[in-house]
Structure 1
């Protein structure tokens, strides 16, 4: 029955239950949540990036270049692609490959490159595909036909498993149609920087367990095809709902959540592999998990957390408690002079805003919130100025505290983002006025003066609805002024603030972003003060529930 089900490359990276629902006739009219606005913006940015790369390549290759119209019907695009291939065109953009009815595959690819033996796929993506280092095989965009490239002494591959799986899918489509260059398993990716092609050898044993990308793809695709076929033909479902990270933005979450809540599924408090381990140990529900003895030796060790914490989360969920104390006493290190820091970035383009809240002892610098911002659309050299101003102010505060014999500490919530852009900014803008060295930044973030409050929350609390600042700070009594405040929405506000999509910059959205950032640092301050106060003991202790 595989001729009734044709799957694109995305299924191999998609939740199995989502694949089922997408092919289940009974789910056709089921309610779905609206598309994630941030996801929609990312898609639009990706389209614009691909167009930019296409125009760049078209200018280089001239009449050797052909584009398949993207606004035509699928069958027309397939026919145009086949005609371009059979006429031997060197570079085919936006190819829609012939459907593989026997294998159950369909799909397209950004670029096909002709060789003496057939065609090789190249993907264009709007994310980084390499990092500084060595070992990647690359070629310049002006040399697309050097398949496999040459060793690059300045780059190492950023694996990006989804890219490799998409390329493997395309290679199988090319093979089925008789258009693949069977002599090579290389396939290319042009990333965000758009300066080189990074080549992946899909037959190399670079995956866990020594598997190849092609083997991993074949196993995943066969599984998804079985799931989709069972759904489409009314067979026994091969995938049941289980909560994972992707559920937050999945259109089918209303369908899955209803079923998970009705069955009180264990994945509502323990996600991923751990939910599977617990079901296999005959612990399928939150109730069953809450009833366990933490010393139960019949349950295998969990990956994400100790079993005792999972049991505590289940008991908190049943009691409708967002937060319970994991430890009887809660401690957050404090200082005489304190600064709360929050950074706003726009994808991989840069960090446009550093917000800081100064509080504590008098050091001759006015307390309160400060924003160090650039409103030039990212990426921009003006980012160096705003970052340098932030760092110089920050260093002045610290030095003033030390000069008065006072202790100093700076706080953030989940340091991964801040640390990334502290180090990246020091590297990108090295040598510019006011920019610290990478060693200066590393010395600071590795010191006791830089404190990640997220780590403290993780240490002292069990959080049944997540550990995000927007979830935890309200428990401490803080609320954001903007009811739509979120990292996802801030991306949309930023686009308007800098007129990224044309028109005039939106001053209202600029003010909104500054208010949002100020509230984020205020939330961190309120949370740590609350955690340092007797009021935190009003939160139930897990051992008492």
Structure 2
């Protein structure tokens, strides 16, 4: 009897989504991709195409048949036949290798590469995210990089795994499960590199495409078998699942079904993170009402980095439609005489094409508040990115130095510095020598100084944020509204493609103005938010002690305006 057939993507993520996909196959097959999903697919396809051409170029001087390209436009049966024929012929590298669907075991899959190794083939997948990062220097006297690192890598032009002390692996579960399934299929076909599981390996080429990160498959295969059996049982409806809100829900097409169901039962996962909801369920706290009225110590397995009181406050906020809760009696945020709000726009991993700034001189009210953008409209990646970054840094440094010279205090602000810091440091390294581009050390010193302020962190210190801490969630509470109703980081990716005519997109110069206005609104939102924190937030936002009084008054889910009605967005 044939089993349900699972693709590697079925092995990770939401179990309930897997159950719904297989219990409603017609709906799953016919629904279109969301714009965000299509954008990710397009970016991944572009990356794979670049890696494919790199592989072809690296072997262009070798005999015909060394690299076999299985054409993606052909039907599945043709791709399988081409792959198996290349394996029989002993091809060294097989691109877009498609394995026959295994109806007996219930598996299907393909590998961007099969590389000849040992007595068969090693699966290598190509992904559009980073799979390794530089190892930090060892703090022992010799100062060597990553001493003791067990990361294995191979050059991209051959299969020769070796310990690599200069890198640390950045493992992703989806990648590992995909490699495990491909390895299992190769073993069943008699095409694996060895009969001994301890000798089996797989590889991942990531975003940088400068090496193959190598995985030992033996420890992964044992975990894989357990997961595969459970997922098969779920897909065959032998194991029941129920919805629970997790991060994946934000882009899941089944949310229109699961969301109302969770609302109806007032499920606690609507107000806490996925792992936290598991802990609460294990402790018998399954509804928002139970959590909102809870008194006592946190459940024993509650994660130490998440204040339990925040979970209780968020539950009360859900019941009372309270958008923000004040932690402190008086909110605090860094202020200065000269203030510059900064927002960076990047296109995926290809670069940062815009640095937007808004300067406010509080010591000189006659000086206008001016928005300036430092931008390149040459499609990324481009050397011109270094020019725009150098101009941004030169301007920012000049304003900072001018303030110091006349005795004014200075601060630059961003919202969630992780992205800005990454591109500040990365740009300094990539564009060393370009006019205006500072050394990485100069950037690091600035980032570490008190003059670089993250308002996202300030929001977290001052408030509990029931609806999330994103700028577009919090700034409206302070009274800010974006001009473009569609403004979002995801939407800006589409606008950028059209603004520069990237790929198959038709160039639309009006999208450049749209991006500039979006960036300007982001820096103005940051300014409005931090000034509000330092101003009327104390009067506008209830203190946590006030909110907790809900438990003393027997709160029952009515808000300040009367009973809640209809589904609530999460």
Provide the TM-score with structure 2 as the length reference.
Answer: 0.87
Residue number in structure 1 paired with 2:568: none
Aligned match for 2:448, one of 440, 446, 455 = 446
**Contact persistence 2:298–2:308 (CA under 8 A):** no
The aligned residue for residue 225 of structure 1 is 232
Tell me the residue number matched to 2:544: 542
Q: Which moved more, 1:188-197 or 1:345-354?
A: 188-197
Map of 2:495 onto structure 1: 493
Residue 540 of structure 1, CA deviation: 2.1
Partner residue of 2:220?
213
After superposing the two structures, state which structure 1 stretch, 467-476 or 126-135, moved more. Answer: 126-135
**Which has the higher mean CA deviation after the structures are superposed, 29-38 or 3-12?**
29-38
The residue aligned with 2:415 is: 413
Matched, 1:174 2:186: yes
Which residue number in structure 2 is paired with residue 45 of structure 1?
43
Alpha-carbon distance between aligned partners in 2 of 1:255 and 1:288, rounded to the nearest angstrom: 24
What residue number does 1:142 align with? Answer: 157
* Residue aligned with 2:96, SS: strand
Which of 163-172 and 312-321 deviates more?
A: 163-172
Q: What's the counterpart of residue 291 of structure 2?
A: 289
Q: Per-residue deviation at 1:354?
A: 0.5
* 2:397 aligned partner: 395
Unaligned runs of at least 5 residues, structure 1: 204-211
State the SS of the aligned residue for 1:4. Answer: coil
Q: How does 1:187-198 map to 2 (within 5 A)?
A: 187-198=202-213
Task: Determine the C-alpha separation between the residues in 2 that align with 1:236 and 1:65.
Answer: 44
| CA–CA distance in structure 1, aligned partners of residues 29 and 120 of structure 2 | 45
Identify the residue that residue 208 of structure 1 maps to in structure 2. Answer: none
Among 74, 90, 93, which residue is 1:91 paired with? 93
2:465 counterpart (463, 466, 478)? 463
The counterpart of 1:157, out of the listed 169, 178, 181, is 169
* Residue 376 to residue 397, structure 1, CA distance change in 2 (3 Å): same
Per the alignment, residue 305 of structure 1 pairs with: 306
Distance, in Å, in 2 between the alignment partners of 1:249 and 1:394 is: 37
Q: CA deviation at 1:336?
A: 1.1
Judging changes above 3 Å, is the alpha-carbon distance between structure 1 residues 53 and 299 closer, same or farther for their aligned structure 2 residues? closer
- Which whole-Å CA distance do the structure 2 matches of 1:155 and 1:296 have between them? 42
What is residue 362 of structure 1 aligned with on the other side? 364
Match status 1:316 vs 2:317 = yes
Q: Secondary structure at the match of 1:122?
A: strand
Deviation at residue 298 of structure 1 after TM alignment: 5.7
Taking the aligned partners of 2:265 and 2:351, their CA distance within structure 1 comes to: 44
**Does residue 343 of structure 2 align to residue 336 of structure 1?**
no
CA 1:40–1:532: 2 relative to 1, 3 Å: same
Tell me by how many angstroms 1:154 deviates: 4.6
Count of residue correspondences? 526
Shift of 1:506: 2.2
Q: In the TM superposition, what whole-angstrom CA distance separates every residue of 1:416-464 from its partner, at most 9, and x where no partner exists? A: 1111111111121223221112221111111111111111111221222
Cα distance in 2, alignment partners of residues 140 and 185 from structure 1: 18
SS state of the match for residue 159, structure 1?
coil
Using the size of structure 1 for normalisation, the TM-score is: 0.90
Q: Which residue of 1 aligns with 2:480?
A: 478
